[in-house]
Structure 1
Amino acid sequence: NMDDTDSKVNLGSIPLFALNVTVRKKLGLFLNPKHTVAADWTAVAETMGFSYLEIKNFEASKNPTKAVLDDWAARNSEASVGKLVSILEEVERKDIVEDLQPLIADEDVRKYLETLKKKAEPPVQVPEVDSCVPRTPERSGITVDDVPGGIPEMFDAFICYCQSDFEFVLEMIKELEQTEYNLKLCVFDRNVLPGSCVWTITSELIERRCKRMVVVISDEYLDSDACDFQTKFALSLCPGARSKRLIPVKYKSMTKPFPSILRFLTVCDYTRPCTQAWFWVRLAKALSLP
Structure 2
Amino acid sequence: MATAPSDPAASPSPVSSLDPHAVPMVALNYGVRRRLGLYLNPRAAAAADWTALAEALGCSFLEIRRLEGLPDPTATLLEEWPGRCPGGATVGRLLDVLRRLGRDDVLTDLAGSVEEDCKKYLQRKQEEANQPLQVPAVDSSVPKTSELMGITIRDDPYGSGTEIFDAFICYCQKDLQFVQEMIRELEQTEFKLKLCVFDRDVLPGACVWSISGELIERRCRRMVVVVSDDYLESDECDFQTKFALSLSPGARQKRLIPVKYKSMKKEFPSILRFITICDYTNPCTKKWFWTRLAKSLMLP
- How does the TM-score come out when normalised to structure 2? 0.52
Report the Cα distance in structure 2 between the residues aligned to 1:258 and 1:248, rounded to whole angstroms.
11
Give the gaps of 5 or more residues in structure 1. 1-125
Q: Name the residue aligned to 2:269.
A: 259
Q: SS at 1:140's partner residue?
A: coil
Q: Name the residue aligned to 1:276.
A: 286
Q: Name the residue aligned to 2:232.
A: 222
In the TM superposition, residue 240 of structure 1 has moved relative to its aligned partner by: 1.1
1:231 is aligned, of 234, 237, 241, to 241
Q: Name the residue aligned to 1:286.
A: 296
The 5-angstrom pairing of residues 138-217 of structure 1 reads 138-147=147-156, 148-217=158-227
Report the Cα distance in structure 1 between the residues aligned to 2:244 and 2:219, rounded to whole angstroms.
12
Per-residue CA deviation, residues 69-92 of structure 1 (Å, 9 max, x unaligned), is xxxxxxxxxxxxxxxxxxxxxxxx
Report the Cα distance in structure 1 between the residues aligned to 2:143 and 2:266, rounded to whole angstroms.
37
The 5-angstrom pairing of residues 92-131 of structure 1 reads none
Report the Cα distance in structure 2 between the residues aligned to 1:135 and 1:206, rounded to whole angstroms.
23
Q: SS at 2:241's partner residue?
A: helix
Structure with greater proportional helix content:
1
In the TM superposition, residue 138 of structure 1 has moved relative to its aligned partner by: 1.5
Q: SS at 2:166's partner residue?
A: strand
Report the Cα distance in structure 1 between the residues aligned to 2:235 and 2:145, rounded to whole angstroms.
26
> One-letter code of the match for 2:147?
E
In the TM superposition, residue 136 of structure 1 has moved relative to its aligned partner by: 4.0
Q: Name the residue aligned to 1:243.
A: 253
Q: Please say if residues 134 and 200 of structure 1, whose CA atoms lie closer than 8 Å, have aligned partners that are also in contact.
A: no
C-alpha distance 212-135 of structure 1, shift in aligned 2 (>3 A): farther
What percent identity do the matched residue pairs reach? 72
Give the gaps of 5 or more residues in structure 2. 1-132
Report the Cα distance in structure 1 between the residues aligned to 2:144 and 2:272, rounded to whole angstroms.
33
> One-letter code of the match for 1:178?
Q
> One-letter code of the match for 1:140?
M
In the TM superposition, residue 151 of structure 1 has moved relative to its aligned partner by: 2.3
Report the Cα distance in structure 2 between the residues aligned to 1:156 and 1:136, rounded to whole angstroms.
26
Per-residue CA deviation, residues 136-161 of structure 1 (Å, 9 max, x unaligned), is 43111000000122121100000000
Q: SS at 1:280's partner residue?
A: helix
Report the Cα distance in structure 1 between the residues aligned to 2:176 and 2:143, rounded to whole angstroms.
29
Q: SS at 2:176's partner residue?
A: helix
Report the Cα distance in structure 1 between the residues aligned to 2:143 and 2:231, rounded to whole angstroms.
28
Report the number of matched residues.
164
C-alpha distance 283-204 of structure 1, shift in aligned 2 (>3 A): same
Provide the alpha-carbon RMSD of the alignment: 2.2
Per-residue CA deviation, residues 34-68 of structure 1 (Å, 9 max, x unaligned), is xxxxxxxxxxxxxxxxxxxxxxxxxxxxxxxxxxx
Bigger Rg over Cα: 2
Per-residue CA deviation, residues 260-285 of structure 1 (Å, 9 max, x unaligned), is 00100000000000000000000000
> One-letter code of the match for 1:165?
D
